[in-house]
Structure 1
């Protein structure tokens, strides 16, 4: 299903959905960051997705990372919380979701890198390589917050 991101765009459709979600900045022992190239928009992104009934947000981040990258991770911190009502995701099926996500910091503890039905490529990047990668602004904000090394102010 295709998706389009709108951030502070006066022409964006109105949100009709609010879904808890989690993502993860996964780093390895040499400081590289794990990213996936998404099928739905061709952009590089952090692993993550919507929380399912019966799970916690941390559990969601662990599950989504495993499903989308093949890696098992341990959560070691929080990068930030993201709930800007001016940032919406419009899906082909008519859902327009307001951003509501917590981004965790994680490290790999097992598994093996693999693409999923949501990605065309999964790989590690040196932080300096990330600036030139195509990614939506919300993902770039999370990566920049991670690189800044401090949790951003709550919004």
Structure 2
């Protein structure tokens, strides 16, 4: 049995030309936007930029706050059995530089998707956020 905890996440939705960049996660094989935990003493925006660079190789030139998501929809059980109630602070980024390359330890694949053609296997804690964003862009 895993432990239960609350997690503050910093995430980035990268989009350009009516497409969104998603990553297939190694831990659950699902597709998701980019992000991770905010480290102790770290500014949330800095954490979002760090996670984006680590996971995709992209440098965010500008981030815009999208929204903060919490509550029962953000509950997630990780493959190791740990249970998290995630507070996800999500940024939008369509101004970036760098060469796309996935982080080998966490990312199976990086791929661009049309807003109306998302993959079926979306990571549970980001699914409602991602669908909301894409519907707003259509």
What band does the TM-score fall into relative to the shorter chain?
0.7 to 0.9
Match status 1:59 vs 2:57: no
Match status 1:128 vs 2:116: yes
* Post-superposition offset of 1:108: 4.0
**Residues 47 and 144 of structure 1: CA distance in aligned 2, closer, same or farther (over 3 Å):** same
Number of residue pairs matched?
136
| Partner residue of 1:17 out of 5, 29, 32 | 5
Structure 1 vs Structure 2 CA RMSD = 2.3
* Post-superposition offset of 1:34: 0.7
Unaligned runs of 5+ in 1: 1-12, 151-155
**Residues 140 and 75 of structure 1: CA distance in aligned 2, closer, same or farther (over 3 Å):** farther
| Partner residue of 2:70 out of 80, 83, 91 | 83
Structure 1: how far apart are the matches of 2:79 and 2:122? 19
Match status 1:107 vs 2:94: yes
Structure 1: how far apart are the matches of 2:130 and 2:74? 17
Is the partner of 1:133 in helix, strand or coil? coil
Unaligned runs of 5+ in 2: none
Residue 130 of structure 2 aligns with which residue?
A: 143
Residue 42 of structure 1 aligns with which residue?
A: 29
Structure 1: how far apart are the matches of 2:113 and 2:40? 33
* Post-superposition offset of 1:14: 9.3
Contact 1:71 1:108 in 2 (8 A): no
Give 1 or 2: higher strand fraction.
Answer: 2
Larger Cα Rg: Structure 1 or Structure 2? 1
**Residues 55 and 16 of structure 1: CA distance in aligned 2, closer, same or farther (over 3 Å):** same
Structure 1: how far apart are the matches of 2:77 and 2:39? 20
**Residues 110 and 86 of structure 1: CA distance in aligned 2, closer, same or farther (over 3 Å):** closer
**Residues 86 and 76 of structure 1: CA distance in aligned 2, closer, same or farther (over 3 Å):** closer
TM-score, normalised to structure 2's length? 0.85
* 1:35-71 alpha-carbon deviations (Å, 9 max, x no partner): 0000000000000100012321111111111111111
* Post-superposition offset of 1:137: 3.6
